[in-house]
Amino acid sequence: MAQLLETDLVHSTLNIALAGGGDFAEVFVEDRRNESARLDEGRIEELVAGRERGVGVRVVHDDTTGFAHTADLSQRGLAEAARAAAAAARGGGATARSVALAVNPIAYQNDVVILPESVPRAKKIEMLKVADDAARSEGAAIRSVSASYAEGRRRILVANSDGLLATDERVRTRFYVQAVAKSDTGMQTGYEAPGRTMGFEFYDEFAVDVIARTAARQALTLLEAVPAPSGKVPVVLKRGAGGVLFHEACGHGLEADLVHRDASVFAGKIGRRVAADGVTLIDDGAFAREWGTFAIDDEGQSARSNTLIENGVLTDYMWDLVRARQQGRASSGNGRRETYQVLPMVRMTNTFLVAGETDPDDIIANTEFGVYCVQLGGGQVDTASGDFVFGVTEGYLIENGEITRPIRPAQLIGNGPAALCDIDAIGNDFATWSGMCGKSGQSVPVSSGQPTLRVQNLTIGGTAS
């Protein structure tokens, strides 16, 4: 990979940033391209391609952070950004301030060819049509299908006053299908949206017709759904289904910036039991080819596996570089930013509960009555208390140790730490979920996962009497 910025120019920018007496300076260079297309009702409704390139300069002086960004990668443009960041850092106060420089965008010719970009657009359009046909072939009750693909390539260079100079290139591919089914019982929606940090070979592992059929079958199954129970019941989360729950309800509370602000229910609990025996929670930015995988984070730190909870005991939080420096410890490789135009912050990557030893079928068989959750939708979490509410978009009743009737969409209500402590069965299987995680106005790709497991006591907000 050709270097995004000449080393001499990187050095001179850092020197200018430190000239005012800053304690730490960093240059972050980004070159990003994205392409996506969406098909609705058999027609291509959207085709988008974009390109973005720029630099963010950060200067830290005592407790103050100055930040400037620019799309002008000339020596003059970088020098202006460095001086602006240094001036902001010297301005006093304990909060970060961003300075956006008014410059004209520069033209940049992309001469790098990688696999997703090399595939003809016509072939990608054809995949959308294949998905549409496959979903509709599942039954006449399928009334509406939407399919989309997305690909992106992000190249970064990170250099700082500690002497670090690191680069990374990330290619991500994703395919999404939503199917709507309608009958006399009403209307139901199914969706499937796998994504991985890989190129067009993604489609060798995830066939678009299979993705589409999965979404359609979910919608058709839910047409037969009965009202969900109401009240506290055991909930069995299918492998991968509960990943988003633990990501939101537990993972965010383990990010060091929220802990520092006393906005986390896990603050001050290192070394204490916060989950049931056998529960181990890991965040791993280098995990396989998952959606949140990279070689280095957005502060140039190597991706690594970080054990957050081990056998029920809280062992560590997730850290970015600057906050870790303030605490006299190493970064955990969790400094991430959406673009060069914003400061990095502590973010999850691939966060998951480790598999246990129990056969998933035995977990079902040993549950007299409860809910089997296959897919969760959006929700809300209070990180200070750990309380959460999530939508169950696909679920089934468990009756006499067997999965029986599908249930209508319902709310899953509980508390993150309490749910961790109420896990009483952990399966020997495993799967992940891919999504975009939002925090403080920034969105980054992440994955979360878990084996099939049972939470003994969660509240279902259903409508059954």
What tens digit of pLDDT does each residue of 267-291 get? 999 999 999 999 999 999 999 899 9
The average pLDDT across 154-170 equals 92
pLDDT of 294 higher than 60: yes
pLDDT of 109 higher than 60: no
pLDDT at position 403, please? 98
What tens digit of pLDDT does each residue of 233-269 get? 999 999 998 888 888 889 999 999 999 999 999 999 9
Residue spans per domain, the chain:
7-222, 230-461
Beta-strand relationship, 97-100 and 64-70: parallel
Best CATH choice for the domain 7-222 from the list 3.60.15.10, 3.30.70.2860, 3.20.20.70, 3.30.2290.10: 3.30.2290.10
Beta partners for 65? 60
pLDDT at position 21, please? 83
Confidence of residue 111 (pLDDT cuts 50, 70, 90): very low
User: What are the DSSP E strand ranges found in 186-247?
Assistant: 186-192, 195-196, 230-237
Identify the H or E element spanning 39.
strand 24-40
Confidence of residue 105 (pLDDT cuts 50, 70, 90): very low
Provide CB contacts within 8 A for 361, sequence distance 6+: none
Confidence of residue 98 (pLDDT cuts 50, 70, 90): very low
Q: How far apart are the first and last CA of the chain?
A: 62
pLDDT at position 101, please? 40
What tens digit of pLDDT does each residue of 27-54 get? 999 999 999 999 998 999 999 999 999 9
> How far is the C-alpha of 349 from the C-alpha of 302, rounded, in Å?
12
User: What percent of the chain is predicted at pLDDT more than 90?
Assistant: 85
Identify the H or E element spanning 61.
strand 43-61
The average pLDDT across 86-96 equals 72
The average pLDDT across 343-364 equals 97
pLDDT at position 248, please? 86
pLDDT at position 246, please? 86
What tens digit of pLDDT does each residue of 422-456 get? 999 999 999 999 999 999 999 999 999 999 999 99
pTM: predicted TM-score of the whole model, two decimal places: 0.92
Mean pLDDT for all residues in the chain: 92
What tens digit of pLDDT does each residue of 332-343 get? 999 999 999 999
The average pLDDT across 168-182 equals 96
**For the chain, give me the number of helices (H) and strands (E)?**
11, 23
pLDDT of 380 higher than 90: no
Note whether 446 and 348 are within 8 A (CB).
yes
Three-class SS of residue 248? helix
pLDDT at position 22, please? 86
pLDDT at position 378, please? 77
Confidence of residue 94 (pLDDT cuts 50, 70, 90): low
Q: Which residue has the higher pLDDT, 114 or 56?
A: 56
